[in-house]
Amino acid sequence: MVPTARPAGARSAPTRALRAALLAWFDREGRALDFRSGGSPEPWAVLVSEVMAQQTQVGRVDAKWRAFMGRFPTPASLASAPTGDVIRAWRGLGYNRRAIDLQRAARAIVEAGGGVPGDVTTLEALPGIGPYTARAVAAIAFGRPVGAVDVNVRRVLGRLLGTGAGPVSPRELQAAADALVDPARTADWTHAVMDLGATICRRVRPACAECPLRAWCAFASGAVPTASAEPRRPAPEARRPVPFAATTRWLRGRIVERLCSAPPGTSVAFHGPLGVHPPAAVSAALAALAVEGLVELDGVDAARLAGERA
């Protein structure tokens, strides 16, 4: 029998057989995506793809990543671009603040010498880069044996390592994620665990019979119930749903969309309401977007909006 080891309290273990099973499955079934380049992935390309993938479906990222990289192939090219052009290139991905943060990260990278850093701590110090993205870039682009834990990976590991006493702690989960990484194929391992969570180890109706890790999985064996493998969130209080068009998110999206549709460098006037939102709500949204760096107000409008908010 192959010796095994595990973090304290965990049921499963990082074995050669487990790694081989998952990577063999990934070689057969892994999703073919443009931003998963073979060989040695270019760090800037990986960073862009991982920021795009935050809160966005992979299919949408795949369609936008190549065009964005064609426009901004280096940190320097993004750092020096007009912010309006960056937001236009980001159009369709949603959460435009990520585009602003990515440009700020590019500027920080340029100021530090121009190369994307390879260690997790320095990556996490960049604007908009959290623990998951930092570890994904470190593992995929630099071969660091660190586990990138997003919601899908957390579900896979929670079920794999779950105990009857309840879910593993975040510290234990991260330690297990790091220990499981195949040091010889860090990029493929990172993609493989993500793909497994997205396609097989789903939140609802997981396809356990098709899972390459079922022999090691506490959840698949029935050793732990669903609740301990993935804790359920408390049910929200019943409340009347708000139509999307009445939300601030809709309003902000329409403002940015109108600006992106205008010729570059053109100022757009916002008079009157937008949809069901009155002029005061439009003004407040413009002021908030300006603070976040998503829009620029001319001097008169900036002073007027500052007065309205005072």
| Residues with a known catalytic role | 50
Q: Give the separation between CA 137 and CA 13, rounded to whole angstroms.
A: 25
Per-residue tokens: 161: 């390592």
Q: Give the separation between CA 35 and CA 184, rounded to whole angstroms.
A: 21
- The DSSP secondary structure of the chain, one letter per residue, reads -------TT-S----HHHHHHHHHHHHHH----TT--SSS--HHHHHHHHHHTTTS-HHHHHHHHHHHHHH--SHHHHHTS-HHHHHHHHTTS--THHHHHHHHHHHHHHHTTSS---SHHHHHTSTT--HHHHHHHHHHHH--------HHHHHHHHHHH-BTTBPPPHHHHHHHHHHHS-TT-HHHHHHHHHHHHHHTS-SSS--GGG-TTGGG-TTTTTSS-HHHHSPPPPPPPP-PPPPGGGSHHHHHHHHHHHHHHSPTT------S-BTTB-HHHHHHHHHHHHHTTS----HHHHHHHHHHH-
Cβ atoms 126, 105 nearer than 8 A:
yes
